[in-house]
Chains A and B, each alone.
Chain A
């Protein structure tokens, strides 16, 4: 069923990245293919990649950005963790859904007040931490930095990544480097 894996007909690879690049002003930006880029923050030294991902719907699609950061420390057996906000109505902190074997890391993340403070303003829809033999990969999909493409009527609406949201993303990756050191 190859057609099921096809991108929506109206999807234009790279069009979101072009918009996002404007919002990433101030960071070093290097294209890595039509839909991927490498980004570096000079002040913090944090490096991460951005990649478009497409979610097809009926007569529309949403293109969002996955921000991924490789943290070269404390590698080990493969483990996947999902990070989420806690709270019923207001965000009160962060929590993790974990694979067995990562309890200690999860506890360390949940205890870190600075990490929680950086992550609370983030409007992420998905946040994963994956352990590999050589380190960790943190990746998140954010609400800002996405694009809604409607076929009826024909509209393309970019959802901006606000400067404070970008600051939170960089801050989160930066803090994760500290917290995960030795994990």
Chain B
């Protein structure tokens, strides 16, 4: 459903208020991998994971100030590419941008593909049991990807205007289930609010959960590109980010605490290495405990729609981005091909579908590898964030003359806290006692390929300096603000 908005119905510059900014900062709370990651985190770490959430919250606050300052210097784009190219040069800009969206899609998109199929089945026990026993439940997610790829190829649009309903709906659902779970008599005796930790409560144990905790805050920084439209952005942006992060953290802490109180985290294999809360099956158990069969249907449908909508988003956006890159000469010309009748970029849609399908097929929908994908996505995302922090520091030192409507308070402490925190989270990327090698391998290979592409593209194709920062004026001139 395309809708042309007349100018009269639009907000003028500087009239977007705090509620919009807050809604934007709430981020990705509804995505299934986020909720499963939180469930697993509380299952593994209990109180230690709650401490990791607090650490991740502080780190993301610090990170938010970097985004706010970068957006204030370059208010026209909001693009990670522009921030990094002005701070550190084109090589890092290409590497960081691909890490920020292509790699995160590769990892998190695959996780969503596998998980949405599993969530779609949890309410259909006989079918679920049959597919589970043959190990093919992940194919349902692949089916969803294929359905949405075909729908997009024919120009059929789905989930328009769903953003507000799904975001708010999922936040309210989790809060309602969480609060009821806290008020009901506990089904499981617990030590403290969040239960005990299987990996202990030492500092390394808490740090090893920060990477997982960071994943729940994905997307909060999206409020920064609103800078030009906000009333008093210097005040509203930090407040919206703080409250957005608080809303997410509060919701997840309530949900996690309730989950631990109501669902017994029983071992699922004789070795005791896999527990119920490490799997998506914990979620329908929790829903049933809170509201009976109705709760199971409610939560199951919520996850199914959120998963399907996330997959559709992948199908809808990436092909257009690839079209643009093909027009610019960054990708082969075939990506700019539009079907004569449907006017859809078929090659881009096919590639956007093949990426998660191939990845899901390679790992055969192995649930144990879901957390590896999520944590590899955290690495890719954290890497891009570090580059943004370094760019903000570089611009402060080299270009103190630039006008900055928003300046990071206590510079450079927030940048150091955020960068240091992300590095520590990447160092301790997996829960204590589990190997980080698969995560580093996935992320390392992808990053090396990305860096090689950025090097060849910048050095030999465009013949431009690799590390020379692009002047801010040049970027602003390319994208005039008025």
Q: Which A residues are within 8 Å of any B CB, using their own CB?
A: 3-10, 12-15, 18-19, 21-22, 31-36, 51-62, 66, 84-92, 123-126, 141, 143-144, 146, 148-160, 162, 165
Contact = CB atoms under 8 A, between A and B. Distances in A.
Contacts of B229: 12-13
Interface stretch (B37-45, B157-165, B260-268, B417-425): B157-165
Given A57-B162, A59-B219, 15 more contacts: A15-B225, A18-B76, A33-B7, A35-B5, A59-B28, A59-B309, A62-B320, A87-B341, A149-B225, A150-B313, A150-B317, A151-B27, A152-B218, A152-B313, A156-B77
Interface stretch (B129-137, B322-330, B459-467): B322-330
8 contacts: A9-B164, A14-B13, A54-B5, A124-B343, A125-B155, A150-B317, A152-B27, A156-B77
Given A18-B479, A53-B3, A148-B317, A59 B310 contact: yes
B12 A34 contact: yes
Contact of A89 (B20, B340, B384): B340
Interface string B220-242: 01101110110000000000000
Contact of B480 (A18, A90, A151, A165): A18
Contacts of A165: 327
A59 B340 contact: no
Nearest to B327: A162
Interface in B303-348: 309-310, 312-313, 316-317, 320-321, 323-324, 327-328, 336, 338-341, 343, 345
Contacts of B12: 13, 34
B166 interface: yes
A151 B163 CA distance: 10
A153 B163 contact: no
B4 interface: yes
Interface stretch (B96-104, B119-127, B182-190): B96-104
Nearest to A66: B4
B209 interface: no
Contacts of B13: 13-14, 34
B401 interface: no
Contacts of A53: 2-5
A121 to B, nearest CB: 11
Contacts of A141: 2
A19 B479 contact: yes
A90 B76 CA distance: 37
Interface in B105-121: 108
- Sort chain B's interface into a size bin: 35 or more
B28 A152 contact: yes
A85 B78 contact: no
Nearest to A141: B2
B219 A153 contact: yes
Nearest to B4: A53
A155 B163 contact: no
A51 B222 contact: no
A143 B76 CA distance: 21
B177 interface: no
A53 B4 CA distance: 5
Contacts of A35: 5, 7, 10
Contact of A84 (B31, B79, B320, B341): B341
Contacts of B202: none
Interface string B134-172: 000000000000000000000101011111101000000
Contacts of B104: 152-153
A9 B20 contact: yes
Nearest to B82: A156
Nearest to A53: B4
Given A143-B323, A157-B321, A58 B310 contact: yes
Given A9-B20, A34-B12, A151-B28, A62 B7 contact: no
Contacts of B338: 123, 143
A153 B480 contact: no
Nearest to B12: A34
Given A12-B229, A152-B218, A125 B343 contact: yes
Contacts of B224: 154
A58 B317 contact: no
Contacts of B9: 5
B242 to A, nearest CB: 17
The 3 A-B residue pairs whose C-beta atoms are closest, nearest first, are A159-B324, A33-B7, A58-B309
A52 to B, nearest CB: 8
Interface in B1-49: 1-5, 7, 9-13, 20, 23-24, 27-28, 31
Contacts of A144: 324, 327
Nearest to B25: A9
Contacts of B4: 51, 53, 66
Which of B160, B222, B229 has the most C-beta atoms of chain A within 10 angstroms of its own C-beta? B222
A139 to B, nearest CB: 10
B163 A56 contact: yes
Which of A54, A86, A123, A151 has the most C-beta atoms of chain B within 10 angstroms of its own C-beta? A151
B311 to A, nearest CB: 10
A57 B164 contact: no
A125 B320 CA distance: 12
Contacts of A152: 27-28, 31, 104, 108, 218-219, 310, 313
B395 interface: no
A53 B5 CA distance: 6
A10 B221 CA distance: 11
Nearest to B168: A3
Nearest to B345: A143
Given A33-B7, A54-B5, A124-B343, A9 B320 contact: no
A59 B328 contact: no
Nearest to A36: B7
Which of B4, B104, B166, B225 has the most C-beta atoms of chain A within 10 angstroms of its own C-beta? B4
B381 interface: yes
A157 B79 contact: yes
